[in-house]
Amino acid sequence: MSALKGPILFGDFMPEAGLARALAMTRGDVISEVRASGLKGRGGAGFLTGMKWNIAAAAQGNRKFVVCNADEGEPGTFKDRVLLASYPDLVFEGMTIAGYAIGAGSGIMYLRGEYGYLLPGLEETLNARRRGRLLGEAVSGKKDFSFDIEIRLGSGAYVCGEETALIESLEGHRGEPRNRPPFPVNTGYLGCPTIVNNVETLALAARVMSEGAEWFKKIGTGKSTGSKLFSVSGDCERPGVYELPMGITIAQLLKEVGGEEAKAVQVGGASGHCVPAAQFSRALAFEDIPTGGSVIVFGKERDMLLAAKNFMEFFAEESCGQCTPCRYGTKVLLEGIEKLESGKCSMTYLKELLALGETMQLASKCGLGQSAPNAFISIAANFKDEVLGRERCFEGRGQ
């Protein structure tokens, strides 16, 4: 793993400076500052964090909640783990700032079940913060602000990274996404206004409050401000977690990690898109290729159909089974890929599979089903020769 170096998160900074500055401001000013920074959610969807906080702050409710989504389950993503292991205080500081901003009294960290080994350390950090009056009654002496954080462990379902399924799981139900609207900012945990933010987002928010929006905006692009953590894996010389400015091109990133020979990069994990070498000049930013941070590098010798199969196996396994397009669609696409693999898939049926992929993108209930076919569709579009070049394909209707 590379040494942790970066402009915003992996640098030297004053601990708790962001919280101190936030508590000296009005709640409204904190939200304005975060809005001004242009910070967008780092889970991948890229919703404006300040706007989310603003809606939750304005929502009616006796109780409000801050939920830190630490259910890092996207294949090829491990940057939150690094943050939680190395900068837990920064994450909790961000949660506390968010709690202050929206008027929440409780924060919940939903920690991926497999990260259970981090739990003792995180609990110790929380206890230290309580001792230091950074949590509990009258945080840092601020009379009208009490806030505490508890940690809950997930149970291994990928779908619980989806915010409404996460809340459903927190409430003790089977982890399945809810109908939206209304969104959690209005009707979330226990029916109360709830913001669900990614680990990295909250850490960045703490840094925004510490250094100011203007400073933050100097890094990144106009539409994608700040830096991004990338979890880089696959066929490259230096896999690891990198903090790089938003807007960096894939080529630049590959150079950084020693993966210039790649023929494709899967951006955004299993639910992301497969980008072929011809498009390596594209930028990793919300306005071009949005990403939660997973970058999987495919070298020259990789079989792209097998890559697609691997991702589809993942979704067929992780679909929560609630809605029809995702539950059965993942299975049909997986079987289709197996047909392609053995050269038994007709062009007509391939077209049917791609159309089914579109249906899944459009009609699934949540982001899991909507993004499940992405990898297959982009691999089929960009690596046609590999997908079709197995054995002879039969023209005509049928399978």
Partner 1 sequence: MTSKNLESRAPVSQRRQVVPVASAGDGIGASVSLTIDGVEAKVPFGTTILEAAKEMNIRIPTLCNHDDLCIAGVCRVCVVEIEGQRTLQASCAYPVTQPVKVSTHTRKVRQARRHILDLMLANHYGECYTCWRNGNCELQSLAGEYGVDGFRFGKMEKPRYAIDQSSYSVVRDMNKCILCRRCVRTCIDLQEVGVLEAVNRGQETKIACFMDKPLGDVVCINCGQCINRCPTSALAASDPTDEIWAAIDDPGKHVVIQTAPSPRAAIGECFNCPPGTPLTFQMNTALRHCGFDRVFDTNFTADLTIIEEGTELLSRLHKALVEKDKAVALPQFTSCSPGWVKYLEHFHPEMIPHLSSAKSPQQMFGAVIKTYYAKLNGLNPADIVSVALMPCSAKKFECNRPEMCDSGFKDVDYGLTTREMAAMIKEAGVDLPNMPKSDFDEPFGTATGSGVIFGATGGVMESALRTVIELVCGIKVEKLFDHADIVPVRGFEGIRYAELPIKDVGPVPPILDKHFKDWKWLKGATLKVAVAHGTANAKRVLDNIKAGGKFSECHFIEFMACPGGCLGGGGQPIPTSPEIRAARAKAIYAEDAAYQVRKSYENPAVAHLYENFLTDGPCGHQSHKLLHTCYTARGKYIL
Is residue 79 within the footprint of partner 1 (CB under 8 A)? no
- Measuring CA to CA, which residue among 17, 14, 61, 67 is closest to residue 41? 67
225 three-class SS? strand
Is residue 173 within the footprint of partner 1 (CB under 8 A)? yes
> What is the dihedral sign for C-alpha 150, 122, 204, 368?
negative
Q: Which residue type does 200 have? A: E
71 three-class SS? coil
Q: Which residue, 12 or 62, is less far from partner 1 as judged by CB?
A: 62
Is residue 355 within the footprint of partner 1 (CB under 8 A)? yes
Q: Give me 55's structure tokens.
A: 């809606």
Closest contact distance (angstroms) between CB of 26 and partner 1 is 21
Binding residues among 202-261 for partner 1 as defined by CB under 8 A: none
Is residue 164 within the footprint of partner 1 (CB under 8 A)? yes
Residue from 194, 227, 365, 380 touching partner 1 (CB under 8 A): that is: 365
- Measuring CA to CA, which residue among 245, 302, 308 is closest to residue 277? 302
Q: Which residue type does 337 have? A: I
Q: Give me 252's structure tokens.
A: 């630049």
Q: Which stretch binds partner 1 (CB under 8 A): 73-81, 164-172, 210-218, 288-296?
A: 164-172
Closest contact distance (angstroms) between CB of 389 and partner 1 is 24
Phi and psi at residue 250, in whole multiples of 5°? Answer: -65, -40
Q: Which H, E and C letters describe 237-298, residue by residue?
A: CCCEEEEEECCCEHHHHHHHHCCCCCCEEEECHHHCEEEEHHHCCCECCCCCCCCCCEEEEE
Is residue 102 within the footprint of partner 1 (CB under 8 A)? no
Residue from 45, 223, 359, 390 touching partner 1 (CB under 8 A): that is: 359
Q: Which residue, 210 or 322, is less far from partner 1 as judged by CB?
A: 322
Binding residues among 188-207 for partner 1 as defined by CB under 8 A: 191
Q: Which residue, 120 or 172, is less far from partner 1 as judged by CB?
A: 172
Residue from 37, 210, 364, 374 touching partner 1 (CB under 8 A): that is: 364
Residues that bind partner 1 (CB under 8 A): 59-60, 157, 164-165, 167-168, 171, 173-174, 176-179, 181-182, 186-187, 191, 315-325, 327-332, 335, 352, 355-356, 358-359, 361-365, 370, 399
